[in-house]
Amino acid sequence: MVDAFHIFTLILVSVAMALSLAHALELPGKMRLPKETYLAVQQIYYPGFTYGGFSEIGGMIALVVLLFLVPFGEGRFWWLFASLVLLATAHLTYWLFTHPVNNFWLKDMKLEGAGGLFFSVRAGDGSADWTKLRDIWEYSHVARAVFAMASFIAASVALIQ
The string of pLDDT tens digits covering residues 47-99 is 677 777 889 999 999 999 999 999 998 999 999 999 999 999 999 999 999 98
Q: What is the mean pLDDT of residues 18-25?
A: 94
* Mean pLDDT of the residues in the chain: 87
pLDDT digits (tens, 9 = 90+) for 110-122: 545 544 444 444 4
93 vs 107: CA distance, rounded Å = 21
Looking at residue 123, its pLDDT comes to 47
Write down the pLDDT at residue 52: 77
Buried b (16+ CB within 10 A) or exposed e, 102-115: bbbbbeeeebeeeb
Contact residues for 100 (Cβ-Cβ < 8 A; gap 6+): 122, 124
| Contact in structure between 113 and 47 (CB atoms under 8 Å) | yes
d(CA 64, CA 60): 6
156-159: which pairs have CB atoms within 8 A and are 24 or more residues apart? 156/10, 157/79, 158/6, 158/66, 158/70, 158/75, 158/76, 158/77, 158/79, 158/80, 158/83, 159/3, 159/6, 159/7, 159/10, 159/76
Listed residue (30, 50, 48) closest to 38, CA to CA: 30
94-114 pLDDT, tens digit each: 999 998 888 777 766 554 554
pLDDT for 112: 54
Please report which confidence band the pLDDT of residue 156 belongs to, taking 50, 70 and 90 as the band edges: very high
pLDDT of residue 93: 97
Per-residue model confidence (pLDDT) at position 53: 80
| pLDDT at residue 111, rounded to an integer | 47
